[in-house]
Chains A and B, each alone.
Chain A
């Protein structure tokens, strides 16, 4: 059983009058422990696909199974719980809370978890250490560089040891040096056993993965093993 199973998935935005189809019948599967890039130009539907996979959005038609269970069968609370426990998100724009320390930012997912509070500090510190920012844990986001901010976001995504990490254009707002540093960390996460799904339009970033799904106009154009 694949971790993610997608069959004939379609998504149409808009109400009755103006309808914008974004995904047209996409099918693929992703196994536990894979490192996959979803690549495509802007407007190809790759972000929408990631949102559906991450329970942030719902497909219009088709089947999506996570851990063998259909997405529709997850209720609102349960979906939130899945996002908290099994999934970690890294966004292009970091989305850190301003005027809140690195440590507190990384702890944020634990607030919504069942993890006992006495473990929060050590878990957050461990995650910050994993991204090499221990010396910055009391800093606020505004005092950090872009690359450092994205590493904080990665620490936040992995603090609850999720099985999957979603990264939506993680290097999009970074210079190439910080970008490759961030991707280095993302690749390490995969070697530690996390399933990693990265969305990008940059070939260089995509090629760090084991497998690349090429998306164009809402369809999978090519599903290839990356040449590492």
Chain B
């Protein structure tokens, strides 16, 4: 019997029981929809995060204190570590130690809010050389100036603010020269950043920059840094520079065994790999949970196919009497099952894509991030193939039952 007719026969049989066919494949449809949704959103998240990391610039090297976190939840080691101090920064700045470092800038993260007269706002406050930011991220003041080395040395109480911070605190008033309060201390606003939105891991419009030394001494009373940023002279020199940094800090901290490092170095490339791995594992985990629903769906298909085989006992008997071989009958029911689940898979792919498109729209509107919809081609193809396979696996038993029916008993069946 020709394959085309097998398909047509199956299609007719399924068409005779539309409601039942639809309900049967519902499990498969839901499973595949969920898988497509997860994979698509996973890809979107990955693109978003990777895009932000790429915004760091490939020459940027980040040094963090403490042990390298072993997983996404292991941040305790860095949050409270105090191993990066001023003498480390001085050591890194020496050309003899790190010859290809174009720039070294320590960073302090200051928790708290900013207020001006009656207005209060909660931006991200960094103790961070504003001039470094200009050099690395090409962020320049819209009004006023950036502060740099000299303000840091003098522990000046100056601040550069993002455009949104200005709008929130000052409204239409000119902020330059005005004093804002951070953790009880007054800072004079010397510059306002031009509006640029998200750059790397922060939103330029919602930050306040103050000299790191001022933040250490007057705001937090600490002598360590949260991060030290090093800019390599070129992307090719990043690897060499990372090595130089490690050697310098080990010497400075008197560490001989690299396993006992009390700092770790992150580069763009390393971050990209790490995040890619984490999201990949997460997507695979969620997909495998959803795959269970495909097994459940497959059992549903098997159940209905068995009912259908019993119901169509007479038909099977007749087909055998007029010349169908066992193989013909097996093929007919197998194709019916595969067709059923394959169609379920295709419908699931369609719904999955529609839903993930809607979700990506909602995410980019709702969160204000550049969440790009990505069409998961591989997941779509695998989804349809897997659901077809589910039909094959769960259809084979009912189809064998059908093909083994004795034609006489089948014809006599009432």
Which residue numbers of A lie inside 8 Å of B, CB to CB?
51, 54, 56-57, 76-77, 80-81, 83-85, 88-89, 91, 95, 97-100, 108-109, 111-113, 117, 156
Contacts and interface: CB of A to CB of B under 8 A. Distances in A.
B325 A95 contact: no
Interface of B: 1-2, 5, 9, 12, 16, 314-315, 317-328, 407-408, 411
B320 A80 contact: yes
Nearest to A77: B325
B1 A57 contact: no
7 contacts: A54-B321, A83-B323, A95-B317, A95-B318, A109-B322, A109-B323, A112-B324
Contact of A117 (B2, B314, B317): B2
Contacts of A81: 323, 325
Contact of B1 (A83, A89, A99, A111): A111
Contacts of A80: 320, 323-326, 328
B152 to A, nearest CB: 86
Given A95-B314, A99-B16, A112-B328, A84 B322 contact: yes
A51 B323 contact: no
Nearest to A78: B325
A174 B188 CA distance: 107
Given A83-B322, A99-B16, 16 more contacts: A56-B320, A57-B408, A81-B325, A83-B321, A84-B323, A85-B323, A91-B321, A91-B411, A95-B318, A108-B322, A109-B322, A109-B323, A111-B2, A111-B5, A112-B1, A112-B325
Contacts of A91: 318, 321, 411
Contacts of A89: 321-322
Contacts of A112: 1, 319, 322-325, 328
B2 to A, nearest CB: 7
Nearest to B12: A100
A118 to B, nearest CB: 13
A119 to B, nearest CB: 14
B4 to A, nearest CB: 9
Nearest to A120: B5
Nearest to A57: B408
A76 B326 contact: yes
Contact of B408 (A51, A77, A117): A51
Contacts of B320: 56, 80, 83
